[in-house]
Structure 1
């Protein structure tokens, strides 16, 4: 298969006239965006409410906290196989299956919660199914967006997709609090309804989007050993593509360190500020401010991408956070510490949008799902160490010392980001697929 076949849609879109209809007039993108905005809102409420449901059922805080661990582990295990499936099967069918499975499982959880005590096994099964569905949905949705959105509008499309997630994080906790006051099961029922709404939006996609799929690789029937080897090679095709591309390889390593520091900073903020008087209020205010800045960052991402090199975009977040953390170290100010987290949240979606555009314009279509899954897997593999690192640091250092250490680490990442190689240009229509 040639790159012309693999990426025909973006290449054709690039030749579209400047008067391409705006995204708000793009029916397929609008359906996907609305469906996922509702789904993100419901999932954000469940993230807040499900531990409360378990606590209300008499489970300990440690048991209730296992839900978060299950989500993280499921995501890491499912990401690569989900990317493989997204490259092999019809994207619309995969998205429908993911939405309907999540609708069914959370409808059961909601009914069970209304009826009485929710068993831990049911809660764990629900979050496993939900995370499997999320990992299956994401690469398929990205592939459809790549197909239905003209190339010149991709930065705006990626940024709007990120913005809906931040908007959900802002609105969902307050909505969850209001609904929990009525009944613990009500937010879970709303979450189930949002998955049903998302499934309807996916079902209504145009015939062009419905036919979206990567062309499966075909060959003569292999032996058992050859089949196993081929499967492993196909499963890891995204990893090998990233490893063989200098820009993606370097950016993935840099992003791995940035994600680790981000997670450590989040938990240092929660544990450090939460220990003081009025700590819970301070932590809540910091998280709300960070969600707002993340939404703003998503909205301004297209503007910044058109004016700044990707090296500057990637370096800006760690640089600003490092400066604010240095202020926190010098002054001992918790406000400056919280501001560093808000700065990272402001610029992280800008980095994510820039990377998303590079992926949809550079990666061949037949390995797009596996490549995006590989990027996510590699960049998030050290994230579970972040909370542990924050706890250990706060146990041995004062808050100002932790701020100083984080400031140095972010400064190093900012310098390394400026040394990133240039992003390769999208392949020509007649060039061979890597």
Structure 2
């Protein structure tokens, strides 16, 4: 097996180059942004298309379920793929296939052909391959960014989902209003452009490459990843923390959406939901400075604690934009806490296991995010004020558990 080259961001003579001048980091960042933006556009465009073509709520629900299920199913095996295969080729395959799938929808609609089974198939491809792309991109990050710059790189990466959340739904609605084919064509073009950009990505050789005996033996890959996570106390506890936080926050978003939708204009509903993206984006932009100035434990306990206070206030404010402002405030520390956790995870995880760690983390957070809306819907049967107070109590319990856990209380700085 060949030696593993230092990250491209490590300058040969002096210190590391600035992230803004690290071409490979910028290619990775842009590729994942297009992936997430495409997912947001697709998530909105498919229901709009079905509504226009058949108006079937059952079809809308089925497509959304296929997207979510394919995304969940892919998480863990995607981590093995990211560790066993060439990560650049994995990312190229994902974006190339997704571009072709979305392009097929645009072409079919231009030809006046609409087929629901075709939409289901494309939804499955989109959900599966978008999930496969993420562990490969995340595992490749320490290959192109020096360890000293990982906190800053991860902080910038945490801004991407919030940018996609802010732009994606509005862009999908605007493009769909122009023409039914427009959002799918735009998605295909973005993914194709990202595919071309990724061709110029330079990744150092992985610790386990396609030519090594270890890479060819994939049967025990998933079990190996779970064994490593189970044997690492800090990472094990952070996965539990992530899962519980996402579960409660996912329920809270649905509750706020339901409360806002009662007697409020659609425009105000959209503005209220945009506050999540705004709050998270502001937090992501502040993450690097806060991460450098304060101990990591403060962010791990601070996010659920601040979110609990903001959530409790939602029980006494009127429906509408004020709920969104409080929700944005609750989301502010989420990217800061995520930066803390992800920096530690990527720093201590061996290169040949980073993809599997990302897949397992996606399973925990994705599963919790999928259950959250169901929990929120059940809680709403007791009334909006009661539901948000239950969520506030849940977030307070997460904060209390963080303080009481010796492992999280002594969370190490990377």
Using structure 1 for the length normalisation, give the TM-score.
0.86
Measure how far apart 1:46 and its partner are.
2.1
Which residue of 2 is the match for residue 267 of structure 1?
A: 254
* 2:334 corresponds to which of 330, 334, 348: 348
Which residue of 2 is the match for residue 296 of structure 1?
A: 282
Gaps of 5+ in 1: 222-226, 427-434
Cα offsets for 1:163-207 (capped at 9, x unmatched)? 13322221233332332222110111010011111111110113x
Which residue of 1 is the match for residue 315 of structure 2?
A: 329
Q: 1:128 to 1:306 in 2, by over 3 A?
A: same
* 2:16 corresponds to which of 20, 31, 44: 20
Q: 1:306 to 1:399 in 2, by over 3 A?
A: same
Which residue of 1 is the match for residue 376 of structure 2?
A: 390
Deviates more, 1:157-166 or 1:293-302: 157-166
* 2:31 corresponds to which of 11, 28, 35: 35
Which residue of 2 is the match for residue 214 of structure 1?
A: 208
Measure how far apart 1:210 and its partner are.
6.5
Which residue of 2 is the match for residue 253 of structure 1?
A: 240
Which residue of 2 is the match for residue 172 of structure 1?
A: 168
Which residue of 1 is the match for residue 148 of structure 2?
A: 152
Which residue of 1 is the match for residue 193 of structure 2?
A: 197
What secondary structure is seen at the aligned counterpart in 2 of 1:194?
A: helix
* 2:49 corresponds to which of 46, 53, 56: 53
Given that residues 156 and 302 in structure 1 are in contact (C-alpha distance below 8 angstroms), is that contact kept between their aligned partners in structure 2? yes
Q: 1:17 to 1:353 in 2, by over 3 A?
A: farther
* 2:79 corresponds to which of 79, 83, 88: 83
Tell me, in whole angstroms, the C-alpha distance in 1 between the residues paired with 2:352 and 2:413: 18
Query: Does 2:397 align with 1:403?
Result: no
* 2:367 corresponds to which of 381, 399, 416: 381
* 1:369 corresponds to which of 351, 355, 363: 355
Given that residues 295 and 413 in structure 2 are in contact (C-alpha distance below 8 angstroms), is that contact kept between their aligned partners in structure 1? no
Gaps of 5+ in 2: none
Measure how far apart 1:325 and its partner are.
2.3
Measure how far apart 1:32 and its partner are.
2.0
What secondary structure is seen at the aligned counterpart in 2 of 1:277?
A: coil
Q: 1:371 to 1:16 in 2, by over 3 A?
A: farther
Given that residues 90 and 213 in structure 1 are in contact (C-alpha distance below 8 angstroms), is that contact kept between their aligned partners in structure 2? no
Deviates more, 1:362-371 or 1:301-310: 301-310
Given that residues 332 and 399 in structure 1 are in contact (C-alpha distance below 8 angstroms), is that contact kept between their aligned partners in structure 2? no
Tell me, in whole angstroms, the C-alpha distance in 2 between the residues paired with 1:296 and 1:9: 32
Given that residues 261 and 406 in structure 1 are in contact (C-alpha distance below 8 angstroms), is that contact kept between their aligned partners in structure 2? yes
Matches within 5 A, 1:54-133: 54-133=50-129
Tell me, in whole angstroms, the C-alpha distance in 2 between the residues paired with 1:104 and 1:331: 47
Q: 1:13 to 1:23 in 2, by over 3 A?
A: closer
Cα offsets for 1:38-93 (capped at 9, x unmatched)? 34333322221111111111141232122221122112211111111111111111
Q: 1:285 to 1:425 in 2, by over 3 A?
A: closer
Given that residues 110 and 181 in structure 2 are in contact (C-alpha distance below 8 angstroms), is that contact kept between their aligned partners in structure 1? yes
Cα offsets for 1:324-357 (capped at 9, x unmatched)? 2222334566655433421232222122222221
Tell me, in whole angstroms, the C-alpha distance in 1 between the residues paired with 2:55 and 2:207: 44
Q: 1:320 to 1:203 in 2, by over 3 A?
A: same
Tell me, in whole angstroms, the C-alpha distance in 2 between the residues paired with 1:202 and 1:260: 34
Given that residues 32 and 137 in structure 2 are in contact (C-alpha distance below 8 angstroms), is that contact kept between their aligned partners in structure 1? no
Which residue of 2 is the match for residue 280 of structure 1?
A: 266
- Number of aligned residues: 409
